[in-house]
Each structure stands twice: as C-alpha cells, then as structure tokens.
Amino acid sequence: MCGNNMSAPLPAIVPAARKATAAVIFLHGLGDTGHGWSEALAGIKSPHVKYICPHAPFMPVTLNMNMAMPSWFDIIGLSPDSQEDEVGIKKAAENVKALIDQEVKNGIPSNRIILGGFSQGGALSLYTALTTHQKLAGVVALSCWLPLRTSFVQGAVGVNKEIPVLQCHGDCDPLVPLMFGSLTVEKLKSMINPANITFRTYSGMMHSSCIEEMMDIKQFIDKHLPPVD
C-alpha cells in the first residue's frame, strides 16, 4: 500500500468466464465497499464481460459529523443548493479515468467499457463520463444526481455526446429524493442526445436496488456490450 489517498484495497472483480472483450466499472455508494455490488453484478453477468468494483478511500465526511468512512469525495449536504466538494469530485473523477486507462492497457477499448454506480458512486460515474476524453459504451446511474451541475454549460460535453445512459431511481427514496433523479435527467437531456437517455423509476423502492432494476441493468449491459466473437 502506498501512502496516497487511493491506497484503498484492490477492487472486487468478477472475471469474465472467457476472454474479456468488455468491462463494467461500478462505483459503490457512501460508506460501502465494492463487494456487495460485485456480488449483485455476478448475478447478472455475461461471459465476455469483466466487472470491476473499486473501493473508495476512507475520508472524513462532513455530512456524517466528520466521521471517516469509504467515500469518493466529501458530501457537505443533501439539498440541491448544498455546497459541493469541487476539488474532491474532480480528483475522484481523475482516479476513475485512470482505472479506465488501466483496462484499455489490458486490451479492452474504452468504447467497450460501461461506467456505473450507485448514489455517490452513480454521481461520480455521470460526472466522469461527461468530463472524460475517453469514449465510453454507456453509463448506469442508480439513485443519484449530477455533481457540479452548474459547471456544465449546454452542449459542452466532449466525446460522450451520444452516450447511452440508463438512469434508475426508487420513487420512495428518502435519502436522494426522486426529484433529484428527475432534475438530473432534464439536465442530461440538455447536454447529450436525449434519445439515448432512459429513465426508469421503481414503485416502492427506497435508497436501494431491486430485482427489476437489476434486470434492466442486465438488459442495458447486454445491449451496449454485445459479444464480439
């Protein structure tokens, strides 16, 4: 372990059953680790896809009385006008881009990589996809929001203007209200091709996942990362 902030343990990985020709990088939520999501993704896996679930570094989180926990960046508050950790968000996005680069070095082109995440991880996956120079295959954004949304001017997205997005939200989410999801979809539609954005809501679902959502995620991954052989 080196002394930098990303000295979190190595990602939880669900290897491809045969040669990996595509990858899903999935970022967990605040206070969690990659293990739970790697298990969930193992339940919907495709044989040619590698699933990578990194663990966030430990850091004090303002929202939780400065308690240290796994977190991609600091969260100051949960209302739409809360101050945001701009430096931390940008640094975290650079770390995710480095993970994508690593997979490209491993022989998987970036346009065969889907970036996804839940809650804080979903927020980071959206922000990274909209700011990276790497052309990606898609984004799966679960129960989340777009960080630093005012920093995006209309149509200012780089290579991922046509990126397919699956955004999912529970209609009973008490932590990240459905309204955040709806506002995020509207913002995304002003930045990338609206025809490529799918917004799914799940009746009765709180700040969590469900089987129906996992099936929608599987369908999205299968559609945008088909086998090449």
Catalytic residue set: 119, 173, 207
Name the residue with tokens 């044989």: 47
- Residue burial 207-225, b: 16+ Cβ < 10 Å; e: rest: bbbeeebbebbeebbeebb
Backbone angles phi, psi at 120, to 5 degrees: -60, -35
- d(CA 170, CA 160) in angstroms, rounded, equals 26
Cβ-based neighbour number of residue 57 at 10 Å: 18
Asked if 132 and 18 touch (Cβ cutoff 8 Å), the reply is no
Asked if 208 and 168 touch (Cβ cutoff 8 Å), the reply is no
